[in-house]
Amino acid sequence: MAGRNVKLLRVERSALADNDAVARALRRRFREAGVFVVNVIAAPGAGKTSLIVRTIEHLRGWARVGVLEGDIVGNLDAQRVLAAGAYDAVQINTGGQCHLDASMVEQALSRLLLEELDLLFIENVGNLICPTHWVLGEDLTVCLVSAAEGHDKPRKYPEVFAKSDAIVLNKIDLMELSGFDRSEFVRHIRALTEAPLFELSCRTGEGMAGWTEWLWARVRRPVGPMPMG
Amino acid sequence: MHELAVAEQLLKLVEEEAQRAGARRVVAVHLVLGEHSHIAEEALRFHFERLTSQGSPAEGAQLRVRREPMRFRCLECDADYAPPAGDWRCPRCGEVGKLLDPGDELRVESLEVEMANTAYEEEEEEKEKEGGRGWPGET
Ligand SMILES: Nc1nc2c(ncn2[C@@H]2O[C@H](COP(=O)(O)OP(=O)(O)O)[C@@H](O)[C@H]2O)c(=O)[nH]1
Ligand SMILES: [Mg+2]
Ligand SMILES: [Zn+2]
């Protein structure tokens, strides 16, 4: 009888709206627990774990730092951050998935002493592409690249730089050795974002103070001035 | 890559919107994929089709994809441009502009859905019922 009654529905929503909703719930939970959350995104080997380790060392005695370690398999990084003085750490194995999503983080929280933390790092799976779409309820997204990877990374993966609240250039001790063109790197970063850029070396410790001070100011825990060292 | 995870999320959204609108079936999904969304269209279609093949209101729905480029603004020339991959210089003056849009969107713009009944059909049904009760004013 009547023909097909086809109607156009305006939607205008992110295709990942479901993950976004879980992330919003996580954000409320982090707020209630009084925990500042930093999502660290980088390629494998750029120095995510090293940066977290160094930051924990700088904040020792000042902040209780927890870590969620995203990785395809294994728990090496969780052991590393615990050895460095992390208050608690939980390994999340994604079983092949190239990014963490909000429900993985939600599940991992049942194994983490969240209420007792001041700061929580989420080390995302080593990848500059996929993690950018999946918000996790974080206060800050930090994108880390190392001088050894080359200065063309902003041109190749602009979206992660554009989305990050801070950019860390690690392994500056290898800059010369790697033929890293700093001005080329900075020029392209600045086309994408006004976010602060921290140039440092987790090996020598150079530049670490600037990064930790900036982070500490964002965490704004009312426990006192920035520790030195 | 993560097309399977994206397809799962997409399907959840599509089913939720269709249900809310009271639709019987989804005919088409209009999707915006930025050129920097790093989504392989074919892989996304494959997973979406597979996920909907076991009884979903979105079974057989067409994925209509529109690609959106990364866009810059040149402050010198006061003009917007979409540069070719990796070379962000303004086509007029050669300066690298400021990012306007990273072109990494994954957005559902709209759905074409088949509704259970038209308002017209409902009206007709109403009239038939009323007719059964006799002409208004007769009683
Ligand atoms: N030369 C140098 N090596 C570094 C630096 N930071 C990290 N590394 C080394 O880079 C490798 C990968 O670091 P890791 O923190 O495990 O990277 P992740 O995979 O991003 O977590 C390790 O061998 C580190 O010792 C640095 O600033 N300079
Ligand atoms: Mg690591
Ligand atoms: Zn121009």
Q: What CATH number is given to the structural domain containing B106?
A: 3.30.2320.50
Domain positions in chain A are 11-220
Please give, rounded to a whole number of angstroms, the shortest distance from the CA of A75 to a CA of chain B.
23
Mean model confidence pLDDT for chain A: 93
Chain A residues with beta carbon closer than 8 angstroms to that of B18: 9
pLDDT of B137 over the 50 cut: no
State the Cα–Cα distance between residues A100 and B73, nearest whole angstrom.
33
Question: Is B93 part of any domain?
Answer: no
Cβ <8 Å between A133 and B37: yes
Name the residue range of residue B112's domain. 2-69+102-129
- CA of A46, nearest ligand number: 1
Q: What is the pLDDT of residues A90-129, one digit of tens each?
A: 999 998 889 999 999 999 999 999 999 999 999 999 999 9
Question: Is B64 part of any domain?
Answer: yes
Q: Is the CB of A124 under 6 A from ligand 1?
A: no
Q: Is the CB of A171 under 6 A from ligand 1?
A: yes
Angle at A220 between CA A217 and CA A221, to 5 degrees: 130
For residue B33, the one-letter residue type is: L
* Total number of domains in chain B: 1
Please give, rounded to a whole number of angstroms, the shortest distance from the CA of A173 to a CA of chain B.
27
For residue A20, the one-letter residue type is: D
Cβ <8 Å between B115 and A6: yes
Question: Is B27 part of any domain?
Answer: yes
Question: Is B137 part of any domain?
Answer: no
Q: What is the pTM of this model?
A: 0.89
Question: Is B92 part of any domain?
Answer: no
What integer is the mean pLDDT of B99-124?
85
Cβ <8 Å between A16 and B6: yes
Nearest to B114 among A6, A132, A155 (CB): A6
Q: B117 pLDDT band (50/70/90 cuts)?
A: low
State the Cα–Cα distance between residues A47 and A55, nearest whole angstrom.
12
State the Cα–Cα distance between residues A60 and A151, nearest whole angstrom.
33
Cβ <8 Å between B102 and A162: yes
CATH of A11-220, one of 3.40.50.720, 3.40.50.300, 3.20.20.80, 3.90.1170.20: 3.40.50.300
Tokens of B48: 């979406």
C-alpha distances out from residue B62 to A51, A159, B4, B45, Å: 45, 28, 17, 9
Torsion angle (degrees, nearest 10) of CA B23, B25, B27, B29: 70
DSSP 8-class letter at A162: H
Question: Is B38 part of any domain?
Answer: yes
Nearest Cα residue in chain B from A8: B112
By CB atoms closer than 10 A (0-12, 13-18, 19+), residue A179 is exposed
Phi, psi of B9 (to 5 degrees): -65, -45
DSSP 8-class letter at B98: E
Q: What is the pLDDT of residues B25-57, one digit of tens each?
A: 999 999 999 999 989 999 999 999 999 998 899
Q: Which atom of ligand 1 is nearest to the CA of A144?
A: 20
